[in-house]
Amino acid sequence: MPVLVMKFGGTSVATPDRIRRAAKRVGVEVSKGYDVIVIVSAMAGKTNELVGWVNETSPLFDAREYDAVVSSGEAVTAGLMALTLQEMDVPARSWQGWQVPLRTTSAHSAARIEEIPTDNINAKFAEGMRVAVVAGFQGVSPEGRITTLGRGGSDTTAVAFAAAFGAERCDIYTDVDGVYTTDPRISSKARKLDKIAFEEMLELASLGAKVLQTRSVELAMRYNVRLRVLSSFEEQSDNAGTLVCAEEEIMESKIVSGIAYSRDEAKMTLISVADRPGIAAAIFVPLSEAGVNVDMIIQNIAEEGRTDMTFSCPTDQVKRAEKALHDAKQRGEINYHDLVADMDVAKVSAVGIGMRSQSGVAAKMFQTLSDEGVNIKVIATSEIKISVLIDRKYMELAVQALHDAFELEKAA
């Protein structure tokens, strides 16, 4: 029988009653003839509670024990989901990560999936079981200890199971009904996309759209797993939600598919850095070693052998960046007059695979912002994305203006 993977996030399994609603959706797919693998998150709030206890106990915790503690929420929902399905006369049982076994690396709290053997679960399907309920987020290391895949890791579990079992589709049930052209709270013209390409979803996810864990999209792209994002709280039709799929499946696409934004970016400027070969490495190697995720970089034109170097990083890494650069200066590796952090910025990005073949997108974006009087502080581009750093107060205005300029309210 064809296999379908269905993943339910924390709000979709927050109470026994919501688990029952989710189980009904599973029952519908079973009655269509699918063997279903259900991946569950912990009940909403449970993982935060567990993480809170760990932090209270041990600020610099042993990640192996962190994983042992925080993985327990998913075990609970997996068992409850299996019981609920059994109550509905759907043959089901639960699996924890180590029982599959979902083998991962030993990188505790951020482990990567190495292997998902299918024999255990397939043997049960062959015996007549119709639903395998698997605890998301968790796996087992080569040393036999419990690992977790990082926050949001149940999305990755779901995609990995879909790849391993050759599932027809991987449905991600969440609290939004799909992927939008932009955040509907910012632009009332935001439109739900029926389809979006993996590459675009990947950019949107890493740019702050919180619908899917970035790694799950990477994995879906690599194994060509058709991902559908849809709401557990609305009645579903067959083409509900948004399908994340290969570019080829999208007949006609617009040049720009979506406008993303992030408030969590800070702009940092090193003023008057000696401009010499190797200076970029001297600055960015210590930042990388300190765990600072540098996003955009801009170097001013040098004057009299000195230049300004500007970069952006997440706001919660500013302190760490300042310390890393200060230490490098102390060690004599770099020299600068001042380091200025500007937290009052936001990043706005236009994303679309159509950019590859169409020129003029950047020009249109800059013109639109200019018409609105928005000053651009830093620019970064990729093949399918243009990002700008602007003053935070203009963020909503910029998103709305770009959404209008690229006519995203209209279907392709």
Which residue is associated with the tokens 């269905």? 6
Determine the length of the chain: 412
Give the type of residue at 200: E
Residues that bind a second copy (rule: CB under 8 A) add up to a total of 37
Q: Which is nearer to a second copy, 79 or 150 (CB)?
A: 79
Q: CB 198 → a second copy: shortest distance, Å?
A: 34
54 touches a second copy (CB under 8 A)? yes
Q: CB 143 → a second copy: shortest distance, Å?
A: 10
Q: CB 133 → a second copy: shortest distance, Å?
A: 9
Which residues does 66 contact at the CB level (< 8 Å), separation at least 6? Answer: 51, 54, 108, 109, 148
Q: CB 84 → a second copy: shortest distance, Å?
A: 5
3-state secondary structure (DSSP) of residue 185: coil
Which structure tokens are listed for 407? Answer: 């006519």
71 touches a second copy (CB under 8 A)? yes
Angle (deg, nearest 10), helices 46-57 and 72-87: 160
259 touches a second copy (CB under 8 A)? no
107 touches a second copy (CB under 8 A)? no
8 touches a second copy (CB under 8 A)? no
144 touches a second copy (CB under 8 A)? yes
Burial of 359 (0-12, 13-18, 19+ CB in 10 A): exposed
53 touches a second copy (CB under 8 A)? yes
Q: CB 20 → a second copy: shortest distance, Å?
A: 8
94 touches a second copy (CB under 8 A)? yes
User: x/- site string to a second copy, residues 10 to 49, per CB under 8 A?
Assistant: ------x--xx-----------------------------
58 touches a second copy (CB under 8 A)? yes
Q: What angle do CA 76, 68, 155 make, to 5 degrees?
A: 60
Q: Tell me how far apart the alpha carbons of residues 163 and 113 are, in angstroms, rounded to a whole number.
A: 12
* Peptide bond between residue 101 and the one before it cis (omega within 30 degrees of 0): yes
Q: Which of 13, 26, 80, 395 touches a second copy by CB under 8 A?
A: 80
61 touches a second copy (CB under 8 A)? yes
E-strand ranges in 315-375 read: 338-342, 345-351
51 touches a second copy (CB under 8 A)? no
146 touches a second copy (CB under 8 A)? yes
105 touches a second copy (CB under 8 A)? no
Q: Which is nearer to a second copy, 64 or 326 (CB)?
A: 64
Which residue is associated with the tokens 């709030």? 45
**DSSP for residue 26:** H
Q: Which is nearer to a second copy, 83 or 339 (CB)?
A: 83
Residue 297, H or E segment: strand 297-299
Q: Tell me how far apart the alpha carbons of residues 327 and 348 are, in angstroms, rounded to a whole number.
A: 32
99 touches a second copy (CB under 8 A)? yes
Q: Are 192 and 134 in contact (CB under 8 A)?
A: no
62 touches a second copy (CB under 8 A)? yes
Q: Are 69 and 4 in contact (CB under 8 A)?
A: no
Residues contributing to the site for a second copy (CB under 8 A): 16, 19-20, 50, 53-54, 56-58, 61-62, 64-66, 68-69, 71-73, 75-76, 78-80, 82-84, 86-87, 93-94, 96, 98-99, 144-146
